[in-house]
Copies of this chain bind each other. A is one copy, B any other.
Amino acid sequence: MINEILHGDCLKILKDVPDNHVDLVYLDPPFFSQSDHALKSRKLTEYKFKDTWPSLDAYIDYLGLRLEEIYRVMKRDCAVFVHCDRNASHRIRMLLDQIFGFDRFVSEIIWTYRRWSNSKNSLLGSHQTIFMYSKTENYKFNRIFQDYSESTNLDQILQRRERNQHGKAVYAKDSSGNVVLHGPKKGVPLSDTWDIPYLNPKARERCGYPTQKPLLLLERIVMLASNKDDLILDPFCGSGTTLVAAKLLNRNYIGIDSYSEAVELSRKRIENPIRSDSRLLRTGRATYKNLPREIINILHQLPVKLVQRNRGFDAIHNEFINGKPVVLRVQRKGENLADAAGKLQRAGKTKDAALMILVRTESEGQQQSLFDMFPEDVQVIDSLEVAVQSKMESILHQLRR
């Protein structure tokens, strides 16, 4: 039994799998959300599954039986990743403590993401939990490194450290007093909180299955705890993301699901795996911040919301005038004031702005006449720096006389 996707209850199907057989298990069972899930879309097939239970205990019993079977088929160096959310994570971890042992707990992974909503009486839930347990003390684990934090002083990291005669850690110096460098650095070990974007409604990766997980999440798990040609089991495979990750990373897989539509879908996806090429994933969140630091600093003075994705204006004031927005733009370094005003005005018009404010950051001397050419709804305000500069110049001017 290898590279197959099977239809049925995993409890039953796993009985046919021998002991100590698989190298990695990931499971994403129903979360005890006490509601049924369906994705309404205009696609031909509509996928759904039930997640309603007589009681929490019934749910835990259901899951416990299957986890025992999973434990049995795991090899000695196999790890399991159990995906859950806040509804029942504590109960699931109790189960894992029972079946695997308290000391076989390895990590509690937090998957965080941003999403839409309008919660009122509580915080906006935006994480899910993945428990990693191992069958024995020795389990497969490939170290993955991530980038240093932006606030890290990288050139210090590159210096080797040693202890001086008082046992204090100091930067190593060679005989001539120069700092000694380490070799190249790999980055920092992967954290247990993973900020991975939620699969958004427009993603091409989306296949119509309600609780589909991002491929990147599964790829990370597969890389972390398995090697090439290993056998990966997903007993609640749903849309088959785990299997796609396994295939793309040259692992073998067994997928099981009790919904025949899910099995069909997984088989289709395995044939033609789509990896979404999202800009957010490719370049990271930071590249969306296209406003230069100085401009952000100026705008942070004001009660405004920054707008990163519009070329014409940089911010919208928190207060509206008669239901119409007040938009602002900060003059760029080297940018002509009239150009800036023109861009601002064009963009502001499309939003029907009540007022457009251009913050002048460069003193241009005699160019006051240009102001006459400005559309009257664009108002120019000097930045503090320009205002101070002009005061200083006028004092100098007086002194020269």
Contacts and interface: CB of A to CB of B under 8 A. Distances in A.
A289 B299 CA distance: 11
Chain A contact residues: helix, strand, loop or mixed: mixed
B155 A189 contact: no
Total identical chains: 2
Interface in A367-382: 379, 381-382
A165 interface: no
B288 A293 contact: no
Interface centre among A127, A286, A305 (most CB of B within 10 A): A305
Contacts of A93: 90
A321 B381 contact: no
A122 interface: yes
B124 A190 contact: yes
Interface string A288-318: 1100010001101111011111100000111
A44 interface: no
A120 interface: yes
A123 interface: yes
Interface residues of A, number: 108
A102 interface: yes
Given A110-B193, A120-B143, A384-B381, A185 B305 contact: yes
A141 B112 contact: no
B301 A151 contact: no
Nearest to A185: B305
Interface centre among A324, A388, A396 (most CB of B within 10 A): A388
B320 A183 contact: yes
Contacts of A385: 301-303
Contacts of A97: 90
A217 interface: no
Interface string A170-187: 000000001101011101
A338 interface: no
Interface stretch (A12-20, A22-30, A245-253, A354-362): A354-362
B106 A395 contact: no
Given A112-B193, A359-B384, A94 B102 contact: no
A387 B306 CA distance: 18
A327 to B, nearest CB: 9
A365 interface: no
A192 interface: yes
Contact of A325 (B148, B152, B181): B181
A383 interface: yes
Nearest to A377: B395
List the 9 closest pairs (A to B, CB-CB), nearest first: A150-B288, A90-B93, A123-B192, A90-B90, A112-B193, A126-B191, A124-B189, A381-B387, A86-B108
10 contacts: A106-B122, A154-B310, A158-B325, A181-B324, A183-B323, A286-B300, A298-B384, A317-B388, A328-B388, A355-B391
Given A183-B323, A381-B388, 12 more contacts: A106-B121, A107-B122, A121-B139, A125-B192, A150-B285, A154-B308, A155-B309, A155-B310, A158-B325, A181-B324, A302-B388, A319-B392
